[in-house]
């Protein structure tokens, strides 16, 4: 399949190299030290057909300026070094895979670099069996498109077609995917299409028209999605990951920043093209979209959105925090949680105390599977000054019940790595920039939290290797870890046995939820094949709750404990 941008193999020793630069006078490829000129074609495109061995090194030359191919599939080293001709067809898959339906998704978000001590695709693959045994059915990998330096979260990528070399080779990532799928787990990749990182983004020099200098995002000049070549770049990038790495879907980072002229057309084309790929399995698209609007899910562009509303209500209730984006959720977090359980999201365009401008539109008509809920994520943990996990700042029994609610409720649950075993190690912000850029990142991080009472502690240095090392999972096997693992397995067994069949049958009518006293909630969801009744104590024992005769899942005693959960499913 022809993906356009960059160097593409024809399956033999032949390659076609394409670049887009409408204003360039001359474009060359420097292959193993020898330069060859590309031919100008229509629409600002340049192209050359040539013979070479896979593994050969090359650079792009635009009007005499030597640079990295922005669509490099593999680098020989860092983001400033030569690119490598890579033939994806050389990998031989040894097992079939036909995917899984979205209703079965239990997502596990992981960062390859801190998931294991080694921080590689190969080491991560060796840990996947334990996750599968717990009942996890999908792995969401934080971005792997190459960025500057060795360590980072991945959201400062500059070569989105090339896997980060500190994690391993393209084949290493494919073996990771194949191992997960052999265990019955889907693999979803976090893809960043809204900006490029600050170091090594040669796309600015190679294709200046890729950006609209009159529009800006939090990360600089806006990408110009009105350009067909720009749309093709991202569609071809996504198609490559889905096709050649056999992924089951993509999580699209900050899709609300994919905006401006052409953005809506792009999203429509992007979704339709990916879903039409002849892959023999369903493709699942998840959006991070802070607008809280249902239209793109109604149109079928995405299966689901990350639902921060659910997280914020739980976090505000358990921690009492009311700063920054928690302000509106701290007013009445229990009622907010009731709304999240009844309607999916909370903010749907209504006036909210603590928010200057209303946000969102009604979304209660969507299927529960249109919402990806989480109690912790890389954002919500890592963007704290000290990377605190919820278990270290909130009542343990409250965190346990919140986690059980996440896994058992009829929405799509997402676990942040380590959560399943009660991990207490922080997940901090870290990067590997040097010189002036490193200084700016360090100072910016410190200034961001200067108003926080640090109790004499400095915010961890994001550039220091120690900050990265401190963020790695501990993989403890003590009694506390076993308790959390047992809780995870018990809740997911209940989910797969009782909740997933109802999700597949689709919902009927609206959910009903009511607050019981100050800290209790009662909810009922209706599906074609049955009904789910849930009673939640979230700080004190609920009064006047519907009596559940034979709940299939309980956490603590709903009649006695301040933090407790009981769920009963009534099949038809």
Distance of alpha carbon 312 from alpha carbon 332, whole angstroms: 11
| 383 labeled part of a ligand binding site | yes
Q: Are 186 and 138 in contact (CB under 8 A)?
A: yes
**% helix / strand / coil in the chain, to the nearest 5?**
30, 20, 45
Q: Which region holds residue 268: left if phi is over 0, alpha if psi is between -120 and 50, else beta?
A: alpha
Each as own residue / partner, the long-range contacts of residues 116-121 (CB below 8 Å, 24 or more positions apart, any chain) are: 116/472, 116/473, 116/475, 117/472, 119/166, 119/167, 119/472, 120/166, 120/167, 120/168, 120/172, 121/163, 121/167, 121/168, 121/172, 121/173, 121/175, 121/176
Angle formed at CA 379 by CA 399 and CA 553, multiple of 5 degrees: 30
Q: Measuring CA to CA, which residue among 457, 459, 461, 458 is closest to residue 432?
A: 461
Known active-site residue 288: yes
Known active-site residue 190: no
| 195 labeled part of a ligand binding site | no
| 310 labeled part of a ligand binding site | yes
| 452 labeled part of a ligand binding site | no
| 570 labeled part of a ligand binding site | no
| 256 labeled part of a ligand binding site | yes
Distance of alpha carbon 287 from alpha carbon 290, whole angstroms: 9
Q: Measuring CA to CA, which residue among 485, 443, 491 is closest to residue 463?
A: 443
Enter the DSSP assignment of 40.
E
| 252 labeled part of a ligand binding site | yes
Q: Measuring CA to CA, which residue among 251, 303, 240 is closest to residue 274?
A: 240
Q: Measuring CA to CA, which residue among 52, 30, 28, 25 is closest to residue 38?
A: 28
Task: From the candidates 253, 293, 303, 348, give the one annotated as an active-site residue.
Answer: 253
Q: Measuring CA to CA, which residue among 371, 392, 363, 375 is closest to residue 311?
A: 375
DSSP line for 362-397: --TTS-GGGEEEES--HHHHHTSTT---GGGTS-HH
| 529 labeled part of a ligand binding site | no
Judging by beta carbons within 10 Å of its beta carbon (0-12, 13-18, 19+), is residue 398 exposed, middle or buried?
buried
Task: From the candidates 87, 178, 199, 288, give the one annotated as an active-site residue.
Answer: 288
| 111 labeled part of a ligand binding site | no
| 351 labeled part of a ligand binding site | no
| 398 labeled part of a ligand binding site | no
Q: Are 538 and 398 in contact (CB under 8 A)?
A: yes
Distance of alpha carbon 386 from alpha carbon 381, whole angstroms: 9
| 10 labeled part of a ligand binding site | no
| 63 labeled part of a ligand binding site | no
Distance of alpha carbon 275 from alpha carbon 271, whole angstroms: 6
Which residue is associated with the tokens 């550039």?
Answer: 463
Q: Are 393 and 326 in contact (CB under 8 A)?
A: no
| 311 labeled part of a ligand binding site | yes
Q: Measuring CA to CA, which residue among 560, 51, 50, 538 is closest to residue 316?
A: 538
| 379 labeled part of a ligand binding site | yes
Q: Which parts are annotated binding residues for substrate?
A: 251-256, 308-312, 378-383
Q: Which parts are annotated binding residues?
A: 251-256, 308-312, 378-383
| Residues assigned a catalytic role | 253, 288
């Amino acid at each position: 399949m022809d993906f356009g941008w960059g160097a593409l193999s024809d399956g033999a020793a032949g390659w076609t190299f394409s670049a887009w630069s409408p204003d360039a006078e001359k474009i060359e490829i420097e292959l193993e030290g020898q330069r060859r000129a590309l031919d100008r074609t229509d629409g600002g495109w340049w192209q050359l057909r040539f013979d070479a061995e896979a593994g050969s090194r090359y650079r792009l030359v635009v009007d005499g300026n030597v640079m990295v191919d922005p669509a490099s599939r593999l680098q020989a080293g860092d983001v400033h070094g030569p690119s490598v001709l890579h033939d994806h067809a050389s990998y031989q898959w040894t097992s079939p895979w036909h995917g899984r339906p979205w209703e079965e998704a239990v997502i596990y978000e992981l960062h390859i670099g801190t998931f294991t001590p080694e921080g590689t695709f190969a080491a991560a693959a060796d840990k996947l069996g334990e996750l599968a045994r717990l009942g996890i059915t999908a792995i969401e990998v934080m971005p792997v498109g190459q960025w500057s330096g060795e360590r980072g979260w991945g959201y400062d990528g500059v070569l989105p077609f090339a896997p980060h070399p500190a994690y391993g080779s393209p084949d290493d990532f494919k073996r990771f995917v194949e191992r997960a799928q052999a265990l019955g787990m889907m693999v979803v990749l976090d893809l960043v299409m809204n900006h490029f990182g600050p170091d090594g983004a040669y796309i600015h020099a190679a294709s200046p028209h890729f950006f609209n200098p009159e529009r800006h995002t939090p990360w600089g000049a806006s990408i110009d999605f009105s350009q067909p070549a720009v749309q093709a770049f991202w569609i071809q990038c996504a198609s490559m990951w889905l096709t050649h790495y056999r992924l089951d879907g993509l999580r699209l980072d900050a899709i609300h920043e994919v905006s401006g002229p052409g953005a809506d057309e792009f999203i429509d084309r992007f979704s339709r093209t990916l879903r039409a790929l002849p892959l023999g399995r369903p493709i699942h698209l998840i959006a991070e979209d802070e607008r809280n609007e249902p239209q793109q899910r109604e149109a079928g562009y995405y299966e689901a959105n990350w639902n921060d509303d659910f997280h914020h209500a739980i976090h505000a209730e358990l921690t009492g925090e009311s700063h920054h984006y928690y302000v509106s959720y701290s007013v009445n977090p229990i009622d907010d949680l009731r709304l999240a359980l009844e309607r999916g999201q909370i903010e749907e365009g209504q006036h909210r105390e603590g928010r200057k401008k209303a946000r969102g539109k009604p979304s209660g008509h969507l299927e529960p599977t249109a919402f990806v809920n989480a109690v912790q994520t890389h954002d919500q943990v890592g963007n704290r000054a000290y990377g605190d996990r919820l278990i270290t700042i909130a009542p343990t029994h409250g965190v346990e019940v919140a986690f059980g609610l996440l896994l058992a409720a009829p929405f799509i649950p997402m676990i942040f790595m380590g959560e399943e075993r009660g991990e207490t190690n922080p997940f901090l912000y870290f990067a590997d920039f040097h010189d002036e850029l490193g200084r700016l990142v360090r100072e910016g991080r410190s200034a961001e939290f200067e108003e926080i009472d640090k109790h004499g502690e400095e915010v961890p240095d994001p550039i220091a290797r120690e900050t990265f090392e401190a963020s790695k999972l501990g993989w403890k096997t003590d009694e506390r870890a076993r308790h959390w693992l047992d809780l995870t397995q018990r809740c997911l067994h209940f989910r797969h046995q009782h909740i997933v069949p109802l999700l597949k049958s689709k919902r009927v009518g609206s959910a009903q939820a009511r607050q019981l006293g100050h800290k209790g909630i009662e909810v009922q969801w209706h599906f074609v094949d049955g009904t789910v009744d849930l009673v939640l104590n979230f700080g004190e024992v609920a009064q006047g709750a519907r009596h559940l005769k034979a709940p299939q899942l309980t956490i603590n005693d709903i009649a006695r404990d301040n933090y407790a959960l009981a769920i009963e499913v009534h099949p038809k």
